[in-house]
Amino acid sequence: MAGAITAEPRSRLAAGSGLGLGLATTWLSLLVLVPLAAVVVKATGHGWDGYWKALSNPSTAAALRLTVTQAVLVTVVNVVLGTVVAWVLVRDDFPGKALLDLVIDVPFALPTIVAGLVLLSLYGPKSPVGLHFTNSRVGIFVALLFVTVPFVVRAVQPVLLELDRDVEEAAASLGASPFTAFRRVVFPNLVPALAAGTALAFARAVSEYGSLVLVSGNRPFATEVAAVRVLSLNENDNPAGAAAVATVLLAVAIVTLVGIDLLRRWAVRRG
């Protein structure tokens, strides 16, 4: 092998890697990059003027604002409660723990429309518990919380499992209260996983459609989210407008991923 590498000084790839790289690039291009490029092309089909017009449509802008705001709120709740749930699942022993551990994944495994149906029957007009969240932003908030439950929990849980308890004990013997020990010693180790889970939860919240379409009522300016807006624009013969909204969602996704990665690096450096 060493001989083969010195024989081709210009290539840093091992034998066989060229094929692998080619395959991976082609595969990802066909599946991801080409469709994304197509959306961008479609969105700007009527020039920048048409693009801005589509986005500055008041009801479209309202839908985008609503989506991002709700996603941010839901993500913040997830970061806190997801960490707490993961902590309880890893550190505590109680009857029914295995069941609870299983339940975490249900919102992920369930078709989202079923999730919508479940929430509709629980919080709808005929709510058995007397709570009427449907057709309101509270309904959107609850539905998004429901579908994003597993992300942070499942990202943090394995890291917490791997973490040695003796670092916390060391911190305690050095005078740290349990909270300080968590903040100074445990939390920094969770940051990368937390960032990954947060990114996934946020991305999911921004793109959610299935569970919202039944619950939110889809009232423009009030409860219509971006994904539903894309559908209605497309159905009203405005594919360029739909694509324009899609590009914004795409940009939000990319900014989120990059931003969270930067945050993670910063947090790891800072310690």
Partner 1 sequence: MSITIRNVNKRFGDFVALDDVNIEIRSGNLTALLGPSGGGKTTLLRIIAGLDRPDSGVVAINGSDTTWARPQHRNVGFVFQHYAAFKHLSVFRNVAFGLEIRKVPKAEIRRRVMELLELVHLDQFADRLPSQLSGGQRQRMALARALAVEPSVLLLDEPFGALDAQVRKELRDWLRRLHDEVHVTTVFVTHDQEEALEVSNEIVVINRGRVEQVGSPDDLYDHPANDFVMGFLGPATRFDGRLVRPHDVEVFDSATAGSVEARVDRVLRVGFDIRLDARRAVPGG
Residues lying near partner 1 in the complex (CB under 8 A) are found at 164, 166-167, 169-177, 180, 184-185, 188-189, 268, 271
Residue with tokens 């739909």: 242
Nearest distance in Å: CB 176, partner 1: 5
Nearest distance in Å: CB 83, partner 1: 17
CB 191 within 8 A of CB 79: no
In the bound state with partner 1, the residue whose beta carbon lies nearer, of 40 and 163, is: 163
Nearest distance in Å: CB 12, partner 1: 27
In the bound state with partner 1, the residue whose beta carbon lies nearer, of 172 and 253, is: 172
In the bound state with partner 1, the residue whose beta carbon lies nearer, of 191 and 230, is: 191
- Rounded Cα distance, 44 and 38, in Å: 10
- Rounded Cα distance, 115 and 110, in Å: 7
Decide: helix, strand or coil at residue 23: helix
Nearest distance in Å: CB 167, partner 1: 5
Burial 106-126 (b: 16+ CB within 10 A, else e): ebeebebeebbbbbbebbbee
Which DSSP state fits 13? S
In the bound state with partner 1, the residue whose beta carbon lies nearer, of 191 and 243, is: 191
- Rounded Cα distance, 46 and 42, in Å: 8
What would the two tokens of residue 98 be?
């295995």
Compute CA 118 distance to the chain's CA centroid, rounded to the nearest angstrom.
21
In the bound state with partner 1, the residue whose beta carbon lies nearer, of 56 and 177, is: 177
Three-state secondary structure readout of 102-151: HHCCHHHHCCHHHHHHHHHHHHCCCCCCCCCCCCCHHHHHHHHHHHHHHH
In the bound state with partner 1, the residue whose beta carbon lies nearer, of 34 and 268, is: 268
Nearest distance in Å: CB 245, partner 1: 41
Task: For residue 222, count other CB atoms closer than 10 A to its CB.
Answer: 16
Nearest distance in Å: CB 191, partner 1: 9
In the bound state with partner 1, the residue whose beta carbon lies nearer, of 192 and 217, is: 192
- Rounded Cα distance, 13 and 1, in Å: 12
Nearest distance in Å: CB 267, partner 1: 9
